Amino acid sequence: MYYRASSIVLLILCLNIFWGVKPVNYTLYALIAAWTAVSLRGMTSMRSQVFGRVYWRGESAPTPAPPPRVGRGVTGAVALTFDDGPSEPFTGRVLDTLKAHGVKATFFVIGENVRKAPELAKRIVAEGHELGNHSQTHPWVFKMLFRTISEDIEQCQREIEKAAGYRPRFFRQPVGLNNPSVMKVLDGMGMVMVGWQARAYDGFRVKKEEVVSRILGSVRPGGIILLHDGCDGVMGCDRTPTIEALDEIIPALKAKGYEFRTVSGLVGVENRQG
């Protein structure tokens, strides 16, 4: 709301230039620069609250301390999330790894991929994980038209509901490029935006060591971690480095006192729509 109001005020000030009204120009230029900077951060940061509420970390109190152990550690909770699936064989391997470590996670799935592999979506839910909406087609940039955005998100909702039996409230913006139109659509659909606190940039070609280093070096208590089990809507991309990294990341974070939750468990927001 504040962003929309400031945009209207700034537009009126800019029109004054063309109407011949001359306010203090330097002040106007400063306002334009500040508005542009804030807008760019809102579009490119999945922590920014400029366009509306984005859940990127938990706000609940830290979890109780683990049993005494040698050395000092951090006590808190984090959430593992995986984008762009489901995609075989990698989603299945991620699920096997999570089961081996006794960890639950949240999967932000692409509707087209759910349509191609509904059994994977069913398995995710059956094994105690949760699903989020990551759009139907994973567009790099959503068109600004409300109808175009809502149709894409709704198509993914239908695919998830057919495969898993419920419609999620959680949505994650493809490529992390946010805009006010998307937030307006989500609000109207009763959904919420989920960002991240730590990411491995494993959507690109990456080594296992890089994934481990980036996550362990940046995660903080309450953080939502972004990883990938698929690839921009294309089935069959290689996510082996991410899967191998999980076998190091999970034990390392547990040793520091972290526990793992789903996003709904971390942020205290119900994921399933009524």
**pLDDT score at 169:** 98
As a whole number of angstroms, the distance between CA 38 and CA 44 comes to 10
Using 50, 70 and 90 to split pLDDT, how confident is the model at 67?
Answer: very low
Does the structure show a pLDDT above 80 at 18? no
Which residues are CB-contacts of 114 (< 8 A; sequence separation ≥ 6)? 86, 120, 121, 156, 159, 160, 163
**pLDDT score at 66:** 46
As a whole number of angstroms, the distance between CA 270 and CA 213 comes to 32
Q: Is 233 left (phi over 0), alpha (psi -120 to 50) or beta?
A: left
Break the chain into its structural domains and give their ranges.
2-44, 76-267
**pLDDT score at 203:** 87
Q: Is 190 left (phi over 0), alpha (psi -120 to 50) or beta?
A: left
Top pLDDT among 274 and 144 is at 274
**pLDDT score at 237:** 84
* Other C-beta atoms lying within 10 Å of the C-beta of residue 153: 21
- CA-wise closest residue to 184 among 39, 3, 7: 3
DSSP 77: E
149: helix, strand or coil = helix
Dihedral angle, C-alpha 110, 114, 117, 119, nearest 10 °: 130
pLDDT digits (tens, 9 = 90+) for 189-230: 999 999 999 999 998 889 999 999 999 999 999 999 999 999
**pLDDT score at 187:** 95
Residues designated as active site: 83, 228
Q: Residue 36 to residues 23, 39, 54, 75, 184: CA-CA distances in angstroms? A: 19, 5, 20, 39, 20
Least trusted range by pLDDT, from 68-72, 162-166, 257-261: 68-72
| Helix or strand run (H / E) with residue 115 | helix 111-116
Bridge partner list, 224: 79
Strand pairing report for 258-261 and 130-133: unpaired
44: helix, strand or coil = helix
What is the CATH code for 76-267? Answer: 3.20.20.370
Top pLDDT among 112 and 179 is at 112
